[in-house]
Amino acid sequence: MKIAVCIKQVVTREWQLRVNEAKTWIRDQDASFELNEPDAYALEEALRLKEKHGGEVVVCSAGPARATQVIREALARGADRAIHVEADALVSADAFTVAEALAVAIRDEQFDLVLTGLQSDDQGFAQTGVILAEHLGLSHATIVMDVQLDAGGLRVKRELEGGWFQWMTLPMPALLTIQSGINQLRYATLKGIMAAKKKEIRKVTPAAGEPAQRIVSVYFPEKGKKTQMISGSPAEAAKELVARLRDDARVI
């Protein structure tokens, strides 16, 4: 079975975020980076499927040159080779742009299964995987918590709201977006790190195009105190409170 895993490099959670001078994205020149957590679980699930059923795991990443860091990490964990869609503009690109770039890079590979993380830790739109499935013409399922190979297809467990789960079957080839916690992550071994240096990373340059979305402004939430005192008797205060909640705050 031939499996593609889409991964993303994101800023580490411990880093203190700073907005760039244009106020359109974060200032990442001095930031530290890591593998997007949901993507790490997608990679682990792909490696487990390979160990159980055989095949090949190919990691695919769309981002600047520094994304090689997480690509090498994925190769060290056990992926066989990689595809890097390299462009600086993909750092803050919208899900439509990223999905299109990945689709062009992997379409000719004819993968049996494509895995992505549920969402990225930076933008968190949870759209890239679904849009990629549409570009590739694949059946897909989201928020997947379990993956089983069935006769001629897949059987997957999806997480729903309110503590509910859903089992469903779908034909292959297919795309799944993986939920964090689906498995136990492995660490790269010294042997894996050394082997990763010799594994292939195919570079792909995406075609120039107009983004579907544009970030207008990025800013931190403004802090302010807007305490209002309500006087009068308990009955009068209660009546005034209800009026303000209904007319001003519009929460009732």
Q: Give tens-digit pLDDT for 77-126.
A: 999 999 999 999 898 889 999 999 999 999 999 999 999 999 999 889 89
Task: Give CA–CA dist 73/15, Å, rounded.
Answer: 20
Cβ-based neighbour number of residue 12 at 10 Å: 11
Which range of 27-31, 105-109, 149-153 scores highest in mean pLDDT? It is 105-109
With contact defined as beta carbons under 8 Å apart, do 56 and 173 qualify? no
CATH number for domain 2-204, candidates 3.30.70.240, 3.40.50.10860, 3.40.50.620, 3.30.930.10: 3.40.50.620
In our burial notation (b when 16+ CB lie closer than 10 A, e otherwise), range 49-87 reads bbeeeebbbbbbbbbeeebbbbbbbbbbbbbbebbbbbb
pTM, rounded to two decimals = 0.84
Give residue 15's pLDDT band: very low, low, confident or very high (50, 70, 90).
confident
Instruction: Specify the pLDDT at position 188.
Output: 93
Boundaries of every domain in the chain: 2-204
Question: What is the spatial distance between Cα 9 and Cα 179, in angstroms, rounded to a whole number?
Answer: 17
**181: pLDDT strictly greater than 80:** yes
Residue type, 97: T
Six token digits for residue 130 = 């679904």
Count the Cβ atoms, other than its own, within 10 Å of residue 11. 16
Dump pLDDT digits (tens) for 163-177.
899 999 999 999 999
